[in-house]
Amino acid sequence: MFMLLPDLAVDASLSADSAPLLLIDDLHFAYPDGRVALRGISLRVARGEKVALVGPNGAGKSTLLLHLNGILRGKGRIEIAGIPVNDRTLPQVRARVGLVFQNPDDQLFSPTVFEDVAFGPLHMGLAADEVRARVDRALAMVGMSAYHERHPYHLSMGEKKRVAIATVLAMEPEILALDEPSAGLDPRARRGLINLLRDLPLTMLVSTHDMALVQELFDRMVIMDEGRVVADGSVTTLLDDQALLEEHGLETPWKEREVRD
Ligand SMILES: Nc1ncnc2c1ncn2[C@@H]1O[C@H](COP(=O)(O)OP(=O)(O)O)[C@@H](O)[C@H]1O
Ligand SMILES: [Mg+2]
């Protein structure tokens, strides 16, 4: 389990509004066992953009997302709102990047939903009133207002995913990084998630295999394969490129639908 504790001190002078909200430049990373997962990733995301990150299993999507708030530290440059990610800036970076793991059980660890969502704001040093207000707001945003006193462990997968998203929304991040948010959801929970993501006015980088979700929700799509960005462009254009999609193990949403029917 990862605990992301932003520090109390945030030095506003370090941020620069002119920079892209997320800047990644020539990022390389190998796991301790020697497996190379990222081979020179460069990516810029402007404030307000919602970007889908797709690619086959093992492409490096999760590894990349784990770099956004410094859980993993590769070689290369990452900046969040102009702030370079390094040991000194981790608290400021983590206050700005809301990272939601694929498995909500990695994110939820408290006896109640309230405590899980309050955890981040409490550790930001906010007053009790403000913490409660943030928890109420975050749970309302994900449609889980009636769940304050429930035990996260006993929720459905869809409910857990919503609470996991609320835990980062309560930190009021500038960028939301979601790792396969629709994986493991039934159709109704998935529909709820799509509506939620559509309505959230935040910059997003969302890794997913769900090409129907990509088509419905995103304008821009980045394709990764074998640790590299192999395409970065408009969803409409890239979903039209059958050869490109097939080369990287992706299917068009309508093709998936044909296979299912
Ligand atoms: N903890 C780890 N130790 C060693 N190799 C890992 C670890 N996690 C992932 N990998 C490897 O890193 C590569 C990228 O994995 P990952 O980022 O999980 O891809 P994706 O999320 O696109 O499926 C894969 O080759 C995977 O096997
Ligand atoms: Mg992954």
Residue 168 lies inside a defined structural domain of this protein: yes
Residue 2 lies inside a defined structural domain of this protein: no
Predicted pLDDT at 254: 67
Query: Are 80 and 21 spatial neighbours (Cβ–Cβ below 8 Å)?
Result: yes
Element at 64 (helix H, strand E): helix 61-68
Q: Give the integer Cα–Cα distance in Å for 259 and 144.
A: 34
Residue-range definition of the domain harbouring residue 98: 18-260
Q: Is 34 in the pocket of ligand 1 (CB under 6 A)?
A: no
Residue 3 lies inside a defined structural domain of this protein: no
261 residues of the chain, pLDDT tens digit each: 444 444 444 444 444 456 799 999 999 999 999 999 999 999 999 999 999 999 999 999 999 999 999 999 999 999 999 999 999 999 999 999 999 999 999 999 999 999 999 999 999 899 999 999 999 999 999 999 999 999 999 999 999 999 999 999 999 999 999 999 999 899 999 999 999 999 999 999 999 999 999 999 999 999 999 999 999 999 999 999 999 999 999 988 765 555 554
Residue 239 lies inside a defined structural domain of this protein: yes
Question: What is the number of the ligand closest to the CA of 54?
Answer: 1
Ligand 2 centroid, distance to 54 Cα (angstroms): 10
Ligand 2 centroid, distance to 44 Cα (angstroms): 20
Q: What's the total number of domains in the chain?
A: 1
Predicted pLDDT at 10: 43
Residue 157, domain CATH = 3.40.50.300
Ligand 1 centroid, distance to 58 Cα (angstroms): 5
Q: Is 35 in the pocket of ligand 1 (CB under 6 A)?
A: yes
Predicted pLDDT at 255: 54
Q: 28, 29, 31: which to mutate for ligand 1, most atoms within 8 A of CB?
A: 31
Place of tokens 């939903």: 113
Q: Is 59 in the pocket of ligand 1 (CB under 6 A)?
A: yes
Q: Give the integer Cα–Cα distance in Å for 60 and 224.
A: 7
Q: What is the DSSP letter of 241?
A: -
Predicted pLDDT at 251: 83
Predicted pLDDT at 115: 98
Q: 29, 35, 229: which to mutate for ligand 1, most atoms within 8 A of CB?
A: 35
Query: Are 171 and 120 spatial neighbours (Cβ–Cβ below 8 Å)?
Result: yes
Q: Is 55 in the pocket of ligand 1 (CB under 6 A)?
A: yes
Q: Give the model confidence (pLDDT) of 110-130 as tens digits.
A: 999 999 999 999 998 999 999
Task: Please report the atom of ligand 1 found closest to the CA of residue 180.
Answer: 21
Question: What is the number of the ligand closest to the CA of 183?
Answer: 2
Question: What is the number of the ligand closest to the CA of 63?
Answer: 1
Spatial neighbors of 179 by CB under 8 A, at least 6 apart, are 61, 62, 65, 99, 100, 101, 102, 207
Q: Give the integer Cα–Cα distance in Å for 237 and 153.
A: 42
Q: Could you tell me the pTM of the whole model?
A: 0.90
Q: Give the integer Cα–Cα distance in Å for 206 and 235.
A: 13
Question: What is the number of the ligand closest to the CA of 35?
Answer: 1
Ligand 1 centroid, distance to 1 Cα (angstroms): 17
Task: Please report the atom of ligand 1 found closest to the CA of residue 65.
Answer: 17
Residue 250 lies inside a defined structural domain of this protein: yes
Residue 7 lies inside a defined structural domain of this protein: no
Residue 173 lies inside a defined structural domain of this protein: yes
Ligand 2 centroid, distance to 213 Cα (angstroms): 16
Residue 189 lies inside a defined structural domain of this protein: yes
Q: What is the DSSP letter of 27?
A: E
